[in-house]
Structure 1
Amino acid sequence: MSALAGIGMTSQRTRERMIARLREQGIKDEVVLAAMLAVPRHIFVEEALASRAYEDVALPIGLNQTISQPYVVARMTELLRGGKNLGRVLEIGTGCGYQTSVLSKVASEVFSIERIAPLLTKAKNHFRELKLRNVKVKHGDGNDGLPEIAPFDGIIVTAGATHLPEELLRQLAVGGRMVIPVGSAEQMLTLVERLPGEYRKTGLEAVKFVPLLSGAV
C-alpha cells in the first residue's frame, strides 16, 4: 500500500472521522470538506507523528514551524472561498505544503511563497508526490506578495501579522477575499473583502500562528 493511502491511524477511515468532526465544528462548505478528505495530512508530518496526523492539533514540522490543525485549515479555506469558485490564489507561508495542497483542490491556480528554503524543498517534494499541477512556489519574503502576477481572487496568510500588510491588500482583486491572523499578544482570524472603493474587515475568532517575519532564509 502506498504512503498516500495510509494504514491504521492514517487510513481513509481515519480521514473520514476527521471530516465528521469538521462538520460538527461547523464547517459547511462541501467543496472544502472534499478537499480535506482528498489530501493525506499524514505525509506532511514526521513519520513519528503520522499516527496523530488527523487529530485536531497543530504539529511541529521543524525549523520552529507548525502544520495548522485541520479545523483552522478548513475554516480559512472556507472563508477564502465564500461559497464561490476561486481562480488565482496567493498563499503566504507554504510551510510543509498542507494548506497549499488543500487550496489546489479548490482553486484554479495557487501561488505560494515561503521564506525558509529547507521547508520549501520539503513542500515541493510533497507536491510532486501528490502530482499537483496547479501549484507554483517561490522562495522569498511573503510581505512582498507577487505584484507581477496580481491581482488575486484570494490571499491566505498562514502566519500572524501585527497589522494588515498594505502590499498584499493592493494585490487583492475587487471582489476578492484575504484571510489572515492579525494581532500581537493575541491574534484574531480576520477576513478582508475588497469592495469597489473600500476594504471591509471582519474579526472572527482567536487563533495562534507563528509570526509573519520579513526576509528570506
Structure 2
Amino acid sequence: MNKLLQKDNYSALTSRQRLEKLFDEHDNAKILVTSSFGSTSVVLLHMISQVKPDHPIHFIDTGFLFRETHDYKKQLIEKLELNVVDTVARENRQKFTRENQSWRFNHDLCCFINKVDPINDLKPGFDIWVSGLLAYQNANRRHMPIVDFKEDIIKFHPIIDMTAAEVSLYMTIYELPAHPLVAHGYDSIGCTHCTQKGKGREGRWFDNAKTECGLHA
C-alpha cells in the first residue's frame, strides 16, 4: 500500500481524481473520512458523495458546537445523501470538560478530550484517514503533503492545494450551500467558546497562541 500511496501518483490529478484513484486502487483498505461540517467542509463532502456514495463520514461532535453547525449538518445530509456517523468523546470525559469549563483554563486539554481522543479511539480500525485540510488555512498546513505517512495511519489530503478562490468556485458551480455562520463573518467555525468572527482562522482560539486543535498538528 505504501508504494502505491506516493505523492507523485496524485499531485498531477484533480482533487476528485485523487479520491477516485484512492478508492479504486485501495478498495480493500479501511478508509476513515472525517468532517467538522465547518465553513469549507462541503467541498470534500460533495466529492465523497459523488465518488463513493454512502461511505461513512465521521462527524466530530465536541458537544460545544454552534446550533448552526448541527443545522448545516442536517442540511448537507439531506442534500448530498450522506452517511454520517457521530463521533463523540466518552461521556464521563465530556462531562468533566463541561463542568470544569476546561476551555477557559486549558484549551489543549479540552480539544484533546473532545476531538483528538475520540479520533484516536477510531484510528486503530483504519488504514487511511481522509480529511479536507487546505494549505491556505494556516502556516501549519501550508506544506502538508497530499499523502502523509504517520506512525499509526496514512493521512490523505485530496483538496490540500485548492486555493480559497477554487473552493469558492467549486461551491458556486455545484450550488453547494455555505455554513450559515459564514454570512455573519465567521470564516472558520469550531466550538462556541473558542470561535469568534474573523478572517481565515484568526477567530479560532482568539485569546490564545493556539492555531490547531491537535488532530492535524
Same fold (TM over 0.5): no
TM-score relative to the length of structure 1? 0.38
More strand by share: 1
Relative to total residues, which structure has the larger helix share, 1 or 2? 2
Q: Which has the higher contact order (CA 8 A, sep 6+)?
A: 2
